[in-house]
Amino acid sequence: MTHRNLIIHDLEILAPLELAEPFDQGRIGLIVEGKEEVEIICTCLDVTPAVVREAVFRGADLLVAHHTPIWHPLTSIRGDDAGLLRDLLGAGINVYVMHTNYDRATGGVNHCLAGLLGLGSVMPLSMGLIGDCHLTASTIAGHLGTSLRVWGETGEIRRLALVGGSGFDPLVIREAAAAGADAFLSAELKHSVARSAPIPLLESTHYDLEAPAMRILAGKNGWIYLDDPPCLSMIP
């Protein structure tokens, strides 16, 4: 058993709170307080009902998540919020959230993504990373285990910029282009941004770009990764 505060201390070294975006204020750190003594730790991308049920089944004492289950201040606890919190508090499970601070941290979401794609000579952008590579759009999709939407003409990509999650910011795309990027990888692209981009854009999903970091975090520490991927389908 380890005291909860010791684990939180290590997590805050890994992803310092001051790295978080201003909109994350009050939405990172210990979001749900449970047992003080911790033995079984799980990680996840989203604190969904399915993830919480699995955490309870596994006997988890701490759930380390990327996205907070509480985005807005609660003036009442009803419906889905009530069910989620009832299960967490009933089992004494702590929930600790690392969001944009973990995106920006060395070894965090963007670095895990760069490592997965084999980028070399990695350098920071204002939101993400850029690095050298020998990739194509299809090999990137293969590394991610998913499909990509490609905006623009791509051949061999020798320098790739990336931002995990929703990162198609026109200013960052131009920053990446100025730094020599051949393409830019992120999620949740707007049509207006795609039309004005100076370099090809590779669009994956929010989930596929951020889940690997939580899986890697679990693997490095001997924790349990709990997955609940979104159910996506194409309707003809």
Q: Which of 177, 178, 183, 187 is closest to 212 using CA atoms?
A: 187
3-state secondary structure of 52: helix
- The predicted model scores a pTM of 0.93
Tell me whether strands 224-225 and 41-46 are parallel, antiparallel or unpaired: parallel
Residue-wise pLDDT for 104-148, tens only, equals 999 999 999 999 999 999 999 999 999 999 999 999 999 999 989
Residue-wise pLDDT for 31-44, tens only, equals 999 999 999 999 99
What stretches of 182-226 show up as alpha helix (H) in DSSP?
Answer: 191-196, 206-221
What size, in residues, is the chain? 236
Residue-wise pLDDT for 58-92, tens only, equals 999 999 999 999 888 878 888 888 999 999 999 99
Residue-wise pLDDT for 157-198, tens only, equals 999 999 999 999 999 999 999 999 999 999 999 999 999 999
CA 142 – CA 145 distance, rounded (Å): 5
